[in-house]
Amino acid sequence: MPPPSQQQAPAHPRIPLEQIDVSVLSKEKIRELFKSGRLPTVEAIVEEIFFRATKMGATDIHFEPIEGELRIRLGHEGVLKRLVSLTPDMTDNVMSVLKTRTTLNQFEKKKPQEGRYSAVYHGEPMDFRLSLIPVLAGERAVIRILRKATQIAKLEELGFSKANLDQIKILLRQPKGLLLVTGTSSSGKSTTIYAATNAVQTAEKCVITVEDPVEYRLPYASQVQLPSDRSFNFADALRAILRQNPNVILIGEIRDAETAVVASEAALTGNLVLSSMLADDALGAIHRLLNLGVQPYWLASTMVGVVYQQLMRKICPECKEPYELTPEERSIIAPYLEGSDAMFAHGKGCPACDNTGYKGRTAICEIVSVTPELRDLIFQRGSILKMREEALKSGFQGIRRDAATKVAFGLSTIHEFVRVLG
Ligand SMILES: [Zn+2]
């Protein structure tokens, strides 16, 4: 049998998961069916879950042992949706199938574990990243689905407003320096750094990336993938890359102090460094780098700008209709709106959007361009409050304003505004 990493996902008969759902059938009835051999194997059930998740374009699969059930939910466009609930006594077997696929230790149930494998679904090669943690009722597993063949979007296609897009393009015109795209996890930040890398590459430039894992293939770049045995890390790879005279370096993500320091070093030596980082807002990212140990004078001389972004679901065009805001909803959004010509809308739900009222997502963002005054403040390790004041003077607008504008244009809803931004 070939290792799981080279397996083609088998074509298989569709399994009616609905018929083994504990919310439909009693646990006793399911156990009975199982014992009599009239139920598919756990392997086949897991395969069906993967088949459906990949078909609907899910980004992750959650296997959660909770009170009285093993609940399986799919993450799609940032929202979880229940697929099926299996009997709790299947938990061990399901975890065992997942561990086999990722060649993890079957018998380890008390420690967090991570694994990965590749397979082809619906003609598309995909990477699956498994994360397991022990919980009271067994183990909880999350599979992240990474699609390899996905085309890199253009910056213009991500939904940035014209003003924000123009500002990003100005930042990308810098020949050197550090440009960060920040956000929470699954906020679309890596899509943006790949699109940005695509926008700056030319035949005369040397582009090198270091990623964990390589998410998209860039035909013009040399891509370094961190090895799964961790024999070298981001910082080691970066130091080696610097000796190869690059012009543009893409660092998948700055996760630790060492990478942060080497990334700013790389920017200081004349490279344009593009990277992503977890952060709660654009100015917070600057402080995070300082707290990770990047010297203020280094950051002050290299930082070009920070983009902080989130993704908002767009209203389904098939079932969009005007929507009247309640006074409470109006009070949430009013501080971020200018003028009164808003056209609020929502999707009432239709087959095209699986009755969610939403289809596709758009990026919303705030951008800090580092001006000489802000540079000075970074050098002095100024407070976020002071930096914010300075940024506002040069036209900085918070992410809420961008989001509110999209709601007022009838592109997204007040509910999304609250869900994404709180
Ligand atoms: Zn619809």
Map out the domains of the chain as residue ranges: 4-147, 155-421
* pLDDT value of residue 149: 60
CA of 79 to the centre of ligand 1 (A): 16
User: Which residues contact residue 334 at a Cβ distance below 8 angstroms, ignoring those fewer than 6 apart?
Assistant: none
Positions in the chain whose pLDDT score sits under 70: 1-13, 149-150
* pLDDT value of residue 5: 45
Provide the residues around ligand 1 (an ion) whose CB is within 5 A. 316, 318-319, 347, 350, 352-353
The enclosing H or E element of 418 equals helix 414-421
CA of 202 to the centre of ligand 1 (A): 41
Amino acid at 295: Q
CA of 11 to the centre of ligand 1 (A): 31
- Please tell me the chain's helix, strand, coil percentages from 3-state DSSP, rounded to the nearest 5: 35, 25, 35
CA of 69 to the centre of ligand 1 (A): 31
* pLDDT value of residue 165: 97
* pLDDT value of residue 214: 84
* pLDDT value of residue 45: 93
CA of 363 to the centre of ligand 1 (A): 20
pLDDT tens-digit readout, 186-207: 899 999 999 999 999 998 999 9
* pLDDT value of residue 208: 96
The enclosing H or E element of 98 equals helix 91-101
Amino acid at 106: Q
Question: For residues 196 and 172, is the Cβ–Cβ distance under 8 A?
Answer: yes
- Is the bond preceding residue 372 a cis peptide, omega within 30 degrees? no
CA of 359 to the centre of ligand 1 (A): 7
CA of 317 to the centre of ligand 1 (A): 6
The long-range contacts involving 378-383, CB below 8 angstroms and separated by at least 24 positions, are 378/286, 378/290, 378/296, 378/299, 378/300, 378/303, 379/296, 379/297, 379/300, 380/296, 381/290, 381/296
Question: For residues 288 and 246, is the Cβ–Cβ distance under 8 A?
Answer: no
CA of 313 to the centre of ligand 1 (A): 12
CA of 315 to the centre of ligand 1 (A): 8
Domains 4-147 and 155-421 share a fold: no
CA of 308 to the centre of ligand 1 (A): 29
pTM of the model: 0.84
pLDDT tens-digit readout, 280-305: 999 999 999 999 999 999 999 999 99
Question: For residues 316 and 360, is the Cβ–Cβ distance under 8 A?
Answer: no
* pLDDT value of residue 351: 93
Architecture (CATH level 2) of domain 4-147: 2-Layer Sandwich (3.30)
CATH topology of domain 155-421: Rossmann fold (3.40.50)
